[in-house]
Amino acid sequence: MLECLVCTGSDLHVILDKPAVRVWTNAPDDKNKILYPCMLLQCTSCGHIQQNVDPSLQEILNNVYSSANAQLSTVLGVGNWGTARAESILKKIHVFGKKILEIGCANGYILRHLHEKNPHLELTGIEPSGENGLIDGVHFLRAFVTSSLKLRKTFDFIFAIGVFEHVMDIRDTMRFIVDHLDQHGKLLFSVPHTESLLETGCPSLFSHEHIHYYTSSSLARLMHDFGFYIHTIEIDRGSIYIHASRIKTTEPAAPVQLYPQYQQLLDEIIAMFDSTAHHAALHGVCNKLNNLLGWSSVKHFDLADNDETKVGKVFWGVPVKKPEQITNERLIIIPSVFFQDIKEKYIALGYGGLLSSL
């Protein structure tokens, strides 16, 4: 029987049921062909939202993670966009103590940066698609984090950026953290800020790579079950950063909020997209656009992005242009979080058409 991966409750309700879209990996058409249906369920007991990962989806995701295209967004530190993302994340990481562990360290960008700033830190990074050994002052370990992985040391600070939403057995990951974090140590993790997307019906919510869609109540439940207290929650650029430790604090109550209306709100946005996007220019090659194109009838459009790693490549059969090459009468900016920045860029470039968001 299907159960909640956070609280193990069994009363799960479907809140999203949509036809198959490409399994989004941020890779262009020639490396991105697999289609898979989209479904989300919400647990009425703790409010957690999750996918039902059956063996066929598990196999697809395993192949994605062992490939070079594991990340949903541009790799940290790569290109203009990867550098901008890295800078905003580094500001959130306040190192505590000397022994530091990053779970899911990808290319090790953050750890290498911490080593450059302070060579006395003992830095360890675990990544299933990564390297092994001491590189640039960082101990890298190529592995999946499970409770059976024993590092025979404890850490003062464990952090995981954009990892907890991907991990199938999150309770098992928490067992590993309990075993490896010093009693007085601190835990920091970031996950997508899903509540604002659920409230508005935003099409960016769903991604095949994201098993988990944490809500305030399911985060509180997860932390509580493993003896942690949430100290602060910061919201930044579509992510939330949770700072937790075993030191007791008074947490604000997090009542369970259910989102049975999500799909109806989403359908209204898709209808708006359907009525405006034909022959428009669409800015922002991202997961949200992948969903919109999969769930609407929009077929003919131009495509733009200011991520230099995407310009010139073909996505959904359309080559990506630079913003300065866009001359369509209408331009729709897809990523809501960066809408204002992108809009200003087009105005500065002298774009004279109709400019809107979704």
**Closer of 8 and 357 to Zn ion (Cβ):** 8
Query: Which C-beta is closer to Zn ion: that of 172 or that of 234?
Result: 172
Q: How far is the CB of 171 from Zn ion (least distance, A)?
A: 11
CB of 10 to Zn ion, least distance (A): 9
Interface residues with Zn ion (CB under 5 A)?
4, 6-7, 9, 43, 45-46, 48
From the list 342, 282, 266, the residue with the least C-alpha distance to 316 is 282
Residue nearer to Zn ion on the CB measure, 42 or 124: 42
CB 43 → Zn ion: shortest distance, Å?
3
How far is C-alpha 80 from the chain's CA centre? 19
Identity of the residue, 207 or 215, whose beta carbon is nearer to Zn ion in the bound complex:
215
Give the Å distances, CA to CA, from 86 to 90, 140, 276.
6, 19, 34
264 class by beta-carbon count within 10 Å (0-12 exposed, 13-18 middle, 19+ buried): exposed
> What DSSP string runs through 236-247?
ETTEEEEEEESS
| Closer by beta carbon to Zn ion, 26 or else 173 | 173
Of 46 and 141, which has the nearer Cβ to Zn ion?
A: 46
Name the residue nearer to Zn ion (CB basis): 45 or 173.
45
Tell me, rounded to whole angstroms, the distance of Cα 268 from its chain centroid. 24
In the numeric block, the tokens 């985060």 are attached to 219
Q: Taking the complex as a whole, how short is the minimal distance between the CB of residue 307 and Zn ion, in angstroms?
A: 36
The helix/strand/coil state of 183 is strand
Per the CB < 8 A criterion, the answer to whether 302 and 281 are in contact is yes
Closest distance between Zn ion and the C-beta of residue 9, in Å?
A: 4
Question: Counting runs of H as helices and runs of E as strands, what totals does the chain give?
Answer: 9, 18
Q: Nearest-CA neighbor of 13 among 45, 41, 37?
A: 41
Name the H helices within 125-209: 170-180, 195-200
Minimum Å gap between C-beta 230 and Zn ion is: 17
CA 258/CA 283 separation, integer angstroms: 32
Shortest Cβ 218–Zn ion spacing (Å): 6
Distance separating alpha carbons of residues 234 and 240, to the nearest angstrom: 5
